[in-house]
Structure 1
Amino acid sequence: MQKERADNLYFHADGDSFFVACELSLRPELKGKPVIVGADRGIAVAMSMEAKKLGVTRGMPVFKIKKLFPEVVVLPHHFDLYEDISRKLHQILSSYFREIEVYSIDECFALAQPFEVTYHGGERKLMTAIREEIEKKLKVTYSLGLARTKALAKLASKLEKPNGLVMLLSKEDETRALTATPIDDIWGIGRRTVPRLLELRMKTAHDFTEYPVAKIARDFPGPLLVLQKELSGEQILEVESNTDPRDQKSIQSTATFRPASTDSKVVMREISENSEHACAEARELHLVSNKISFFVKTSEFKYRFDEVRLEEFTADPGAIMDAIAPKAVKLLGKKERIRSTGVILHNLIREEEVPLDLFGKQKKAIDDLVIEETADKIRKKFGHDAIKRAASLSKNAKYPPHHDSGSSFKKRNI
């Protein structure tokens, strides 16, 4: 049983020598050699670590590189390859996080919500799993950062390049990282601003956070004050989700009870509604799932999880509840107060991409969704409660057992 983390965290992934790494994913025989990308532009646009160690710098003319460093391998750009790997990274991350911001072709942010962190076994296991999946599927490396704010996550991902994994989860971690970061290496501080900060004896990011807030506000543009607060641990900058919603690999729906309830009928009713809401969103995007996880959270903020795998991909809440109900009942401890529930649809794929089986069961599962889609249209016109599954109505809750009765007020997030 995992203890919930109280606050959101911010995740950042930064590709290591990204263009070169993408090229090497197709030409592994060049790994360990000095390589640059830029033959078609006549200048070095990206360099491997080996090329950087020789002295090759960004923007150096190719003819000069060939003259000074004849051992360097010079390759042209393949932007379609870079975009494909970037897109696949976002797909991988969408199986871990709901909110993802594509910052550039080789960088992205994500909001790591408490449940997402806890579900994957905590911060360390989450980050390790992401790094291993990226390397296995993409054959490139990213440096990863996890911290209390967006700016700190960005700073963390740069600390141990390449293939770094840095988590700033305490004030002590943050202080060490800020002290190790030169003022001219901070995201958001331009070259023109650096000399002014150095004149004021701000040599590191830590010096910057310690400088009087009033003076930063008085003497510098507003964004610098926001940056100072972010680096001090105050969450201001948000993750701006901008990926294609049909590329997401998971959808979740949760409900919080006020007060917590010991009534298993109330809890199972909410799990059923979680399933309805998650499936409705999936159907709207024409996505289907074959792996479902679900949880209950106690009044002591402890999670209990379980999951099921379905034979067919679906977005039918009835089929999903039939599969998860027997296991969900077992999560409910006798007399234990439950404060929230959740259902997550994993392994989402587009309906049109579902592989069909020999006996037609998968096709029937997709065709059967027309009933739910008709109900969706009625709900859109008359409200969500116009049509509900019987299992989502308290008097028809069919899942045993019943402990103490308890009222609930739900706060649902989809």
Structure 2
Amino acid sequence: MLQENTGKVICTHTWSSAIAHIDADAFFVACEQALNPSLKGKCVAVGKERGIITALSYEAKQKGIKRGMRLNQAKNICRDLIVLESHYETYSLFSVRMFEILKRFSPLIEEYSIDEAFVDLTGLRRLHSKTYKEIALSIQSTIKQELNISVSIGISLTKTLAKLASKLKKPYGITLIPGNQIHIFLKDTPIEDVWGIGPNTASLLKKLNIRTALEFVEKDENFLKRYLSKPYIQTYNELKGIQSIEFIPKLPNKSISKAQSFAPSNKESFIFSELVKNLELASYKARRHGLFAKKLTVFLKTSDFQVSFIKVALSIPTNLPIMLTNTLKEAFNKIYTQGLFYRQTGIVLSDLTEKTQQDLFEDTVKIEKIERIYKALDKINSRFGNNTVCLASSLASKQNKKQHLNLPFIDIKI
């Protein structure tokens, strides 16, 4: 219930609901720093390929660098600025892992962007045997431990309040706004900082002597209806602790794709070897990020740019190429046409998850043995280059490109 006296509460319910907004801190740069820890604590930005700053570290922000700034201008401000090319697929994989972690805390998650999510924590205190703040701390520490990136979290009664709260203590902050403290928070919140209120609407509201979020909710709803449309009335109610913006549970459906073009060829063994090589590269990236694919898509492109593809649902999620070669060969045989010239092959691993489950009919000892083998192979390939050690079925690709093949053949019995 709205009170005219700002010293009194706007909402009398402390926790009638609990919506968390999780916002990763300097996400793109944080992903780069997680993969290359030597970049931590330094002025780092991404966007080299575009010639402008698209994301930057907090250290770079403190120097006065801003998003959208041209590289030469940014370098003039900070000579030590490290500018990297963007790797959006890598950022998507970090995003998948982050959302998988959030699923451990609540079944109701709404993806807002690649690095932001709303999580409905209502009624989960008993399940976790923790307060809402302790749940937020657990989310933070789990993401930090497993992904080596930080997130800021806001928790309140509605999505609008939670999103405002998550900005208060960035980076790596936690802010809770129970219903009986909403008025304190809104008193110091400029109207232009409210989620959903753009510059033009903020300008209009200021002309109506509404400069803070508290002044906004103190107005009579009929007064606001004279000047604003329905979405802003929803925001008005959300700021009062009344859920008006629908919570729509949805999770990202990210994927890993690898494709390689080559001189047109009609040699079946070579074309298939290119496909296997793509599978190995995509699978390596999945293992690097601790992800398992539930679906495999295979595509071939002819010399006249005609594309044929097939999607296969996997019996168990995996990131091990040797477990997929039979499936790959079957898919290849269904879309490959003898005699046609092809110029590109591609692989897409999709429906990614961070957990794998064992089929009752699978040989778990065999799978664990394969996993140990790939851990060793990944170390070798990481040190000496991709495909230094590869499946024999991808060797035709190297041979066609006249690479040096004076390599020992490793016969592994599994």
TM-score range, shorter chain: 0.5 to 0.7
1:187 to 176, 182, 195: 195
**Cα distance, 1:226 vs structure 2:** 0.4
Cα–Cα, structure 1 residues 152 and 35, in superposed 2: closer, same or farther, change >3 Å? Answer: same
Letter in 1 for 2:73: K
Tell me which residue corresponds to 1:267: none
Tell me which residue corresponds to 1:404: none
Cα–Cα, structure 1 residues 177 and 350, in superposed 2: closer, same or farther, change >3 Å? Answer: farther
Take 1:353 and 1:202, find their aligned partners in 2: how far apart are those partners? Answer: 64
**Cα distance, 1:355 vs structure 2:** 8.2
The question of 1:12 aligning with 2:16 is answered: no
Take 1:194 and 1:80, find their aligned partners in 2: how far apart are those partners? Answer: 36
**Cα distance, 1:63 vs structure 2:** 1.6
Take 2:180 and 2:361, find their aligned partners in 1: how far apart are those partners? Answer: 47
The question of 1:220 aligning with 2:233 is answered: no
Residue 196 of structure 2 contacts residue 235 of structure 2 at CA under 8 Å; is this kept in 1? Answer: yes
Residue 15 of structure 2 contacts residue 178 of structure 2 at CA under 8 Å; is this kept in 1? Answer: no
Cα–Cα, structure 1 residues 233 and 65, in superposed 2: closer, same or farther, change >3 Å? Answer: same
Letter in 2 for 1:218: R
Letter in 2 for 1:222: K
The question of 1:171 aligning with 2:180 is answered: yes
Cα–Cα, structure 1 residues 350 and 244, in superposed 2: closer, same or farther, change >3 Å? Answer: farther
Tell me which residue corresponds to 2:155: 146
SS class of match (1:234): coil
SS class of match (1:193): helix
1:112 to 93, 106, 121: 121
1:155 to 164, 173, 182: 164
The question of 1:35 aligning with 2:44 is answered: yes
Tell me which residue corresponds to 1:233: 241
SS class of match (1:144): strand
SS class of match (1:135): helix
Take 1:61 and 1:245, find their aligned partners in 2: how far apart are those partners? Answer: 33
**Cα distance, 1:287 vs structure 2:** 9.4
1:88 to 97, 111, 118: 97
**Cα distance, 1:67 vs structure 2:** 2.6
> How large is the RMSD of aligned CA atoms in angstroms?
2.9
Task: State the Cα deviation string for residues 51-76 of structure 1 (Å, max 9, x = none).
Answer: 11111111110121123321111111
Take 2:361 and 2:159, find their aligned partners in 1: how far apart are those partners? Answer: 36
When normalised by structure 1's length, the TM-score is 0.58
**Cα distance, 1:356 vs structure 2:** 4.9
SS class of match (2:200): coil
Cα–Cα, structure 1 residues 349 and 106, in superposed 2: closer, same or farther, change >3 Å? Answer: same
Letter in 1 for 2:226: R
The question of 1:98 aligning with 2:107 is answered: yes
How many positions carry a matched residue from both structures?
259
**Cα distance, 1:348 vs structure 2:** 6.8
When normalised by structure 2's length, the TM-score is 0.58
Residue 19 of structure 2 contacts residue 156 of structure 2 at CA under 8 Å; is this kept in 1? Answer: yes
Cα–Cα, structure 1 residues 80 and 352, in superposed 2: closer, same or farther, change >3 Å? Answer: farther
Tell me which residue corresponds to 1:243: 251
Residue 86 of structure 1 contacts residue 106 of structure 1 at CA under 8 Å; is this kept in 2? Answer: yes
Tell me which residue corresponds to 1:256: none
Residue 93 of structure 2 contacts residue 254 of structure 2 at CA under 8 Å; is this kept in 1? Answer: no
Letter in 2 for 1:183: I
Cα–Cα, structure 1 residues 287 and 93, in superposed 2: closer, same or farther, change >3 Å? Answer: farther
Letter in 2 for 1:230: E
1:52 to 57, 61, 85: 61
**Cα distance, 1:230 vs structure 2:** 0.3
Tell me which residue corresponds to 1:199: 207
Take 1:203 and 1:162, find their aligned partners in 2: how far apart are those partners? Answer: 26
Take 1:209 and 1:51, find their aligned partners in 2: how far apart are those partners? Answer: 37
